[in-house]
Chain A
Amino acid sequence: MTAALSIRNVGLTYPTRSGQTEALANVDVDIADGEFVALLGPSGCGKSTLLRLAAGLLGATQGRIELNGKPVEGPSRNTGVVFQKPSLLPWKTVRENVLLPARTQGLDLARAKQRADELLELVGLSAFAGNYPFELSGGMQQRVGIARMLLPDPALLLMDEPFAALDALSRETLTFALQDIWSVQRKSVLFITHSIPEAVFLADRILVMSPRPGRIVESISNPLPRPRNVDTFDDPAFTALTQHLRRHFNAH
């Protein structure tokens, strides 16, 4: 099995006033081609830092990160990213925001425009292509972010708590939507979350991270069959897995 993303023995320390702080230590993560991996951990455990390392936005102080066998040295066309905040350009329309990677990465604009329209269809925002972000709800803005991430057809998707800022209902809707999108696009995904049900619903494999310094303490394969739907939440396997994960974070 080829690993799309391979994180080997990665550590990150940075200087603070009280000396060196170790944010991440000895992190090993492998994501196979087309595999959906959820990274679950409490706030401040360094999971967002790990995502920034994988995205090439930060450099590790130790270890190696490789994407399709090539070391990650900076942001790459093969990586798409979505953050907790939609981070859209407020002065650009929805379509123009989706086209952003085409402009920054110098893609063929005619083809990108066609793909942007297809992706807006996929995330259910065709009717809003000409609208501005401030005219959209938070959930819709995040859908725009997902379409933007998919535009250059990256091999790896990095998602940093993309639904954490949304209300519970939009969050659930988007979780279903993301599964549908993924089942069509079949990308490798590193999905960071602090929601146990979200991780279990979406992922093929769940990594549990512990804080200070951040390290992977468990990797669990998810036996739940796909496609998953509303009934999945009632599946005894779903309950068993969420219960198991809960014990990681709460002793009682």
Chain B
Amino acid sequence: MRTNVMSTKAVPTNTVRRRLPAPIYPLISVSLLLLAWDQAVRWFNIPDYLLPPPAAVFRALADGFVTGTLWPHIGTTLLNTVSGFVIGSVLAVSLGALLAESETFERFVYPLLVGLQATPKVALGPILLVWFGFGAASKIVLVALVCFFPLFVNTINGIRRTDPELLEACRAFSASRLFLLWHVKLPAALGEIFSGLQIGVSLALIGAVVGEFLSAQRGLGFLIASSSVSMSLATMFSGVLLLAVSGLAGVEAVRAVHRRVVFWQGSARGR
């Protein structure tokens, strides 16, 4: 809301240009990118095993969908990603709330968490394989671990930034600690929680793919890794493309929920 007001002020009314519908812009830039890709492959005579033209990638995609070979990979990756994301997010918000509320808990846990936060979580992948096996469990745990931290930190910050005057007003009406947490602090933190979720979605996908790189029989990460052996770049690119689309869809889904849930905040209402 606020930024909208500023931007209309910045543009003098007599020079306001007519705008095209919003989806047109990315459509144009993506088309130009594909065109440039296609032209580059032709002009420089790049062999298929290094960079296939976009048409070959789309053909590989279409083949995969029609023959049904892609579906299990997509299904596995999405299932692992969503499961890990949900588990990691629930843990992040609950532990974040607990830490924000309890100083004792904070003193015990905070140093550990800071250390773990600085560690690249994917480095734990091989260990997780040993612990949780080569199936879905190790991937889900990796995903949960990867998307945990941003949301955890955002939850703590969100809760701690609750308007102190709002809290005092509720306290003046004898609000209990549980009431303050559940009905005041957590709703107040929702804006930050949703930006944590947004970061978490893209990280979750990374976690799933890395897990599948390490060891798997199915999944888009597995598809990309196994296709590299046969140098079938078109299949690898189609895997990447599917991951990109999944990530985008995930982020957009979180954004849509954010706007509906946190309807009272300008930043969520605008845009």
Contacts and interface: CB of A to CB of B under 8 A. Distances in A.
Contact of A134 (B176, B183, B264): B264
Given A83-B169, A87-B163, A89-B187, A77 B174 contact: yes
B264 A100 contact: no
B56 to A, nearest CB: 51
Interface string B178-198: 010001100100000000000
B165 A103 contact: no
A150 to B, nearest CB: 12
Interface size on B, as a range, is 10 to 19
B168 interface: yes
A147 to B, nearest CB: 13
Contacts of A75: 171-174
Contacts of A89: 166, 170, 183-184, 187
A133 B173 CA distance: 19
Given A87-B163, A89-B166, A132-B264, A105 B187 contact: no
Nearest to B169: A87
A56 B171 CA distance: 10
B264 A90 contact: yes
Nearest to B261: A91
Main secondary structure of the interface of B (DSSP, over half): helix
Interface in B191-228: none
Nearest to A56: B172
B179 A81 contact: no
Contacts of A114: none
B175 interface: yes
A16 B173 CA distance: 29
A100 to B, nearest CB: 6
A83 B165 contact: yes
Contacts of B169: 81, 83, 87
A85 interface: yes
Judged by DSSP, the binding face of A is loop
B198 to A, nearest CB: 20
Interface in B151-175: 163, 165-166, 168-175
Interface string B237-269: 000000000000000000000000001110000
Interface in A25-77: 55-57, 74-77
Greatest chain A CB density within 10 A among B165, B168, B172, B179 is at: B172
Nearest to A102: B173
A104 B173 contact: yes
Interface string A134-162: 10000000000000100010000000000
A197 interface: no
A64 B172 CA distance: 19
A182 to B, nearest CB: 19
A104 B170 contact: yes
A57 B172 contact: yes
A85 B165 contact: yes
A74 B171 CA distance: 9
Contacts of B175: 100, 104
A14 B165 CA distance: 20
A101 interface: yes
5 contacts: A75-B171, A75-B173, A79-B172, A105-B173, A132-B264
Given A87-B163, A100-B173, 15 more contacts: A57-B171, A74-B174, A75-B174, A81-B173, A85-B165, A87-B169, A87-B170, A91-B187, A91-B263, A101-B173, A104-B170, A105-B173, A105-B174, A133-B264, A134-B264
Interface of A: 55-57, 74-77, 79, 81, 83, 85, 87, 89-91, 100-101, 103-105, 132-134, 148, 152
Interface of B: 163, 165-166, 168-176, 179, 183-184, 187, 263-265
